[in-house]
Amino acid sequence: MNRKKIFASLLVIVLILIIFAQNILLTEVPSSPAEGAVSIPPVEAVMPAPPAEVTTPLPPAEATIPLPAAEATIPLPPAEATIPLPPIDVTLPILPEKETFFTPLPTERKRENVGMDKCIKCHKDQSARWEGTIHAKWSPSFTTPEKAKGVKIECETCHGPGSLHVEDNKERLFIISFGPGSKDTKAEQNTVCLKCHEKGGLYYWNGGVHGRNLRCADCHHVMDNISRRYLLNKTSEKEICFQCHVRQKSEGFRSPHLSHDEAKMTCSTCHTPHGSSTQGLLSASSVNENCYNCHADKRGPYLFEHLPVQENCLLCHKPHSSIHRPLLKVRQPFLCLECHSNLPVKSTGMPDPHNVMDPRSRYVYNRGCTNCHPMIHGSKHPSGARLQR
Ligand code: HEC
Ligand code: HEC
Ligand code: HEC
Ligand code: HEC
Ligand code: HEC
Ligand code: HEC
Ligand code: HEC
Ligand code: HEC
Ligand code: HEC
Ligand code: HEC
């Protein structure tokens, strides 16, 4: 065999192989499932692939940005524990709160009365101011229980016998003192005053919220005439109450009951600060009795009553102030809907005043139910059953 022949036959074999291989590749189409069914080419393959993200030049890695000095390097303030703590009050003996008995003295010796003259020597200023108060001026001729005993009120009537205090005025337990800074308990302080003032307005003191929480000296200052009457610790009564009742202070500014000083209405017009038999320290026997004192027209009697009015004015009103006039706790119609949630709505297709949420209801001007039911507190008219006249 010559070389030419071998080369030619090899070429032929290679060609045949190429054609054969092409044939195989072309026939390797995914086998169509059923006859007639259109073969769908693989979707992904036909769509041009988006340029790979990796090709876009990346911004310099964040790590390369110079970081600010680590926080740890900032010098920390010295730990709180190192700050010297103020000495705790533990040096004062913690005394048990007792209702009627005074804290035992840290000595066996008895306290004796020394008389007012001794006190005046060292407490000139206080004594001079106290001389102007009703307690100093009071004499047993006044008609009080003290009359029978024939005593005059002196320093030691309130502060207790002062013999030990005159000797050692640094030991605070040797004299009774008052106010929040005193070492005598609340009950001990109040007992002193209640000795003489247990009746009248103070009758309910022990049962009331103030009696449980406050001292007489929280509202009264008996060593001086700060207020015109009643030995109060502020010039006006409202200011006393506002010390603690901050919300009522803000209410007072927008209250028809309290905003005008010339109206002469103050907190104790409705409340008794010393306690009462009524909830909310009211001076009247109920909320409604309190309101009737001035709004007597609302008492009735009515031919047609509106039941909640007889029950409690506060079902609809707020006593101090409200952002809804007149002192309503909720705006109309929502106030009325609190109870009248199933109003009869006529299905005539016409706008119905009782369908309050219907914007076409031109009858419900301002969404006010009292446009048609003005006698909201009760009607005296024979045909006012629906509080309409
Ligand atoms: C020798 C002078 C002297 C005499 C007398 C005297 N006191 Fe004092 N009293 C003082 C001094 C000083 C203080 C202040 C003590 C203090 O702040 O540590 C004081 C404080 C008080 C306090 C306040 C106590 C406290 O805990 O806040 C009352 C109350 C008091 N005296 C009432 C009286 C009465 C009542 C008499 C008459 C029985 C009297 N004192 C007689 C010197 C005297
Ligand atoms: C009706 C009771 C009563 C009488 C009487 C009375 N005190 Fe007071 N004293 C008090 C009360 C309460 C306080 C507490 C201060 C206050 O009212 O805010 C007080 C406070 C004081 C203080 C403390 C000083 C201060 O401003 O905190 C001294 C001192 C004092 N009285 C001395 C006297 C002397 C002296 C007399 C007699 C001239 C006297 N007291 C009579 C009830 C009384
Ligand atoms: C929450 C404040 C408050 C406290 C606490 C308080 N009072 Fe009054 N007190 C008043 C006011 C305000 C008046 C004057 C208004 C009124 O009640 O007519 C008054 C008036 C008085 C009156 C004269 C009128 C009356 O009702 O007889 C006496 C006495 C009196 N207080 C004693 C005391 C005694 C004692 C204590 C402690 C047991 C005390 N008060 C605690 C606020 C207070
Ligand atoms: C020894 C009895 C006695 C003691 C204790 C006493 N009071 Fe009085 N207090 C009187 C007398 C008496 C009057 C005169 C008015 C009256 O007739 O009720 C009076 C009047 C008052 C008034 C009314 C002032 C006015 O302008 O009408 C107040 C407030 C008052 N005392 C508060 C106190 C307080 C607070 C204490 C305790 C720190 C106290 N009293 C302790 C007997 C006492
Ligand atoms: C020293 C603080 C203080 C002063 C001053 C004060 N109160 Fe109070 N008052 C209280 C505390 C504490 C309560 C109890 C609150 C609670 O339990 O939620 C209270 C409760 C009340 C209540 C609600 C009672 C209830 O049953 O819910 C009324 C009303 C009231 N005070 C009226 C007054 C009036 C009026 C004055 C001024 C003469 C006054 N307060 C002054 C502390 C004070
Ligand atoms: C027109 C009468 C009236 C006047 C004036 C008045 N109150 Fe009231 N207050 C009421 C009634 C009513 C209540 C509700 C009582 C209840 O819950 O049963 C009340 C409730 C309160 C309460 C209990 C908490 C709350 O807000 O419901 C406090 C505290 C209070 N009043 C403080 C004051 C103070 C402080 C003043 C003076 C600035 C004042 N009141 C003036 C009638 C009045
Ligand atoms: C001491 C008398 C007095 C008492 C008690 C009283 N009021 Fe009044 N009230 C008045 C006066 C005065 C006005 C008128 C104020 C004005 O016109 O500025 C008024 C006004 C009103 C108004 C109308 C407010 C406005 O914006 O027009 C309502 C509502 C009201 N009071 C409800 C009550 C209720 C509810 C109570 C009981 C919790 C009550 N009042 C207790 C004196 C009182
Ligand atoms: C069912 C809710 C409701 C109750 C309960 C109620 N009120 Fe009213 N009150 C109203 C409405 C609503 C108005 C406003 C009327 C208007 O816009 O014409 C009003 C207005 C007032 C007014 C001012 C206008 C006027 O008629 O003088 C006073 C005062 C008043 N009420 C007092 C009282 C008193 C006092 C009580 C308790 C006896 C009370 N209200 C109970 C809903 C009520
Ligand atoms: C706290 C609940 C309450 C609120 C708030 C209230 N009502 Fe009433 N209302 C009643 C009750 C209870 C009756 C009596 C129903 C009865 O007798 O069947 C009544 C009766 C009525 C009647 C007479 C209808 C009848 O069937 O006799 C009318 C009209 C009326 N209310 C209108 C109003 C209006 C307008 C308001 C708002 C300003 C209002 N009510 C707010 C509870 C309430
Ligand atoms: C356009 C006038 C008008 C308005 C606005 C109006 N009502 Fe009436 N309401 C009436 C009339 C008229 C009746 C009597 C209907 C009847 O007897 O069939 C009535 C009846 C009632 C009744 C008695 C229903 C019953 O069962 O017999 C109640 C409760 C009532 N209205 C509450 C309200 C309330 C709450 C509003 C505010 C959302 C309101 N009304 C707004 C005119 C009105």
pLDDT digits (tens, 9 = 90+) for 243-281: 999 988 888 778 888 876 665 788 999 999 998 888 899
Ligand 5 center to 270 CA (angstroms)? 13
> Could you tell me how many residues make up the chain?
389
Ligand 9 center to 310 CA (angstroms)? 12
Ligand 4 center to 386 CA (angstroms)? 55
Structure token digits, residue 385: 């059953």
- Which ligand does the CA of 160 lie closest to? 1
Kindly indicate the confidence band of residue 83, based on its pLDDT and cuts at 50, 70 and 90.
very low
- Which range is most confident: 17-31, 136-150, 206-220, 334-348? 206-220
CB 127 less than 6 A from any atom of ligand 2: yes
Ligand 6 center to 309 CA (angstroms)? 19
Distances (CA, A) of 18 to 13, 22, 25, 68: 9, 6, 11, 67
Torsion of CA 4, 9, 14, 18, to 10 degrees: 130
| 193-202, 348-357, 366-375, range with the lowest pLDDT | 348-357
83 phi and psi, to 5 degrees?
-65, 130
4 phi and psi, to 5 degrees?
-60, -45
Only one residue has tokens 């005439």, namely 225
* Confidence at residue 8, expressed as pLDDT on a 0 to 100 scale: 73
In percent, the amount of the chain with pLDDT more than 70 equals: 67
Answer with the residue of higher pLDDT: 85 or 215.
215
* Confidence at residue 127, expressed as pLDDT on a 0 to 100 scale: 92
216: pLDDT strictly greater than 90: yes
- Averaged pLDDT of the chain: 75
| pLDDT tens-place string over residues 24-77 | 544 444 444 344 334 444 444 444 444 444 444 444 444 444 444 444 444 444
CB 207 less than 6 A from any atom of ligand 5: no
> How far is Cα 189 from Cα 175, in angstroms, rounded to an integer?
12
For residue 158, give the ligand 1 atom closest to its CA.
Answer: 35
Kindly indicate the confidence band of residue 210, based on its pLDDT and cuts at 50, 70 and 90.
very high
| Mean pLDDT confidence for 188-213 | 87
* Confidence at residue 316, expressed as pLDDT on a 0 to 100 scale: 95
Handedness of CA 161, 163, 166, 167 (dihedral sign): negative
| pLDDT tens-place string over residues 152-186 | 788 998 998 888 899 888 888 888 999 888 888 88
CB 336 less than 6 A from any atom of ligand 9: yes
Structure token digits, residue 260: 């005008």
CB 226 less than 6 A from any atom of ligand 1: no
Only one residue has tokens 């007992």, namely 191
Ligand 4 center to 179 CA (angstroms)? 16
> How far is Cα 174 from Cα 161, in angstroms, rounded to an integer?
9
CA nearest to 200, candidates 290, 276, 134: 276
* Confidence at residue 299, expressed as pLDDT on a 0 to 100 scale: 92
* Confidence at residue 88, expressed as pLDDT on a 0 to 100 scale: 36
CB 295 less than 6 A from any atom of ligand 8: yes
| 69-83, 217-231, 270-284, 368-382, range with the lowest pLDDT | 69-83
- Residues within a 6 A CB radius of ligand 10: 333, 336, 340, 343-344, 353-354, 356, 363-364, 369, 371-373, 386
* Confidence at residue 379, expressed as pLDDT on a 0 to 100 scale: 93
* Confidence at residue 39, expressed as pLDDT on a 0 to 100 scale: 43
* Confidence at residue 82, expressed as pLDDT on a 0 to 100 scale: 42
| pLDDT tens-place string over residues 277-332 | 888 999 999 999 999 999 999 998 999 999 999 999 999 999 998 988 899 999 88
Residue type, position 302, single letter:
Y
CB 192 less than 6 A from any atom of ligand 2: no
Ligand 4 center to 218 CA (angstroms)? 15
* Confidence at residue 258, expressed as pLDDT on a 0 to 100 scale: 81
| 91-105, 201-215, 267-281, range with the lowest pLDDT | 91-105
* Confidence at residue 49, expressed as pLDDT on a 0 to 100 scale: 44
* Confidence at residue 149, expressed as pLDDT on a 0 to 100 scale: 55
| Mean pLDDT confidence for 227-254 | 88
| Mean pLDDT confidence for 183-199 | 87
* Confidence at residue 337, expressed as pLDDT on a 0 to 100 scale: 86
Query: For residues 220 and 230, is the Cβ–Cβ distance under 8 A?
Result: yes
